[in-house]
């Protein structure tokens, strides 16, 4: 395996791809959104529990779906990183993650913790949509007031 492949398919990615965390329908979810990548057929559904209140916080996140190791691992890591964040924090995280994958290879971005294992995707432009599918779905879920939950968010 060459260096680029090794960075793409780090052990953490393969582990999350094979055993995605929070892979279930969330009990008492308040937000749900389906996401779809028509290029490859990957699809998933994201569930969020954000109890209403003066300062809403994402209490739990989960997903179900099928796709490649990158899209499954990215969704799995996303659900892990959302817990305790406000919807606004989550949108900022989306921007930071997007920057991580598409920005200058040498730039030092914000510390995204475990999500940085997906940095290897930068060397594979054709796979960026795989890594961002769950994240576009997240935006759809957060903006659900304006969209119908049964509509698909697409990477195209």
Partner 1 sequence: MNKSIPLTTASPPGPRDNNSRFDVNDLRSQFPILERRIQGHPLAYLDNAATSQKPRAVIDCIQRYYLHTNANVHRGVYQLSEEATRAYETSRDKVQQFINARERAEIIFVKGTTEAINLVAHSYAKPLLRPGDEILISTMEHHSNIVPWQIICNQTGAQLRVIPISDVGEIDMQAFGALLSPTCRMLSLTHVSNTLGTITPIKQMISRAHQHGIPVLIDGAQAVPHLTVDVQALDADFYAFSGHKVYGPTGTGVLYGKREILEQMQPYQGGGDMISQVTFEHTEYNELPYRFEAGTPNIAGVVGLGCALDYIQAIGLAQIGRHEQALLAYASEALSAIEGLRLIGTASDKAGILSFVMDAAHAHDISTVLDQAGVAIRAGHHCTMPLMSRLGVAATARASLALYNNQADIDALVAGLHEVNRIFK
CB of 33 to partner 1, least distance (A): 19
* Nearest by Cα to 78 from 13, 8, 18, 143: 13
Q: Give ∠ CA 16-152-138 in degrees, rounded to 5.
A: 50
Query: Is 132:13 a contact under the CB 8 Å cutoff?
Result: no
CB of 6 to partner 1, least distance (A): 9
- Measured from the CB atom, is 42 or 97 closer to partner 1? 42
Give the separation between CA 89 and CA 87, rounded to whole angstroms.
5
Q: Which residues bind partner 1 (CB under 8 A)?
A: 1-2, 4-5, 8-9, 14, 18, 39-43, 66-70, 124, 126-127, 130
Sheet with 42-49: list strands edge to edge: 60-66, 42-49, 31-37, 152-154
User: What is the separation of C-alpha 18 from the centre of its chain, rounded to a whole number of angstroms?
Assistant: 16
- Measured from the CB atom, is 9 or 152 closer to partner 1? 9
CB of 20 to partner 1, least distance (A): 13
Q: Give ∠ CA 28-30-35 in degrees, rounded to 5.
A: 110
CB of 9 to partner 1, least distance (A): 6
- Measured from the CB atom, is 31 or 127 closer to partner 1? 127
- Measured from the CB atom, is 36 or 90 closer to partner 1? 36
């Amino acid at each position: 395996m060459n260096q680029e492949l090794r960075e793409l398919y780090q052990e953490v990615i393969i582990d999350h791809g094979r055993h995605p965390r929070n892979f279930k329908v969330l009990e008492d979810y308040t937000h749900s959104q389906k996401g779809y990548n028509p290029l490859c057929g990957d699809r998933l559904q994201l569930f969020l529990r954000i109890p209403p209140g003066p300062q809403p916080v994402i209490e739990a996140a989960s997903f179900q779906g099928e796709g490649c190791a990158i899209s499954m691992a990215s969704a799995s890591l996303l659900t892990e990183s959302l817990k305790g964040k406000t919807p606004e924090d989550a949108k900022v995280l989306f921007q930071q993650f997007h920057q991580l994958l598409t920005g200058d290879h040498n730039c030092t971005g914000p510390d995204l913790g475990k999500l940085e294992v997906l940095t290897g995707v930068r060397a594979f432009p054709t796979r960026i949509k795989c890594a961002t599918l769950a994240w576009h779905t997240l935006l759809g879920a957060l903006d659900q007031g304006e969209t119908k939950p049964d509509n698909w968010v697409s990477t195209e």
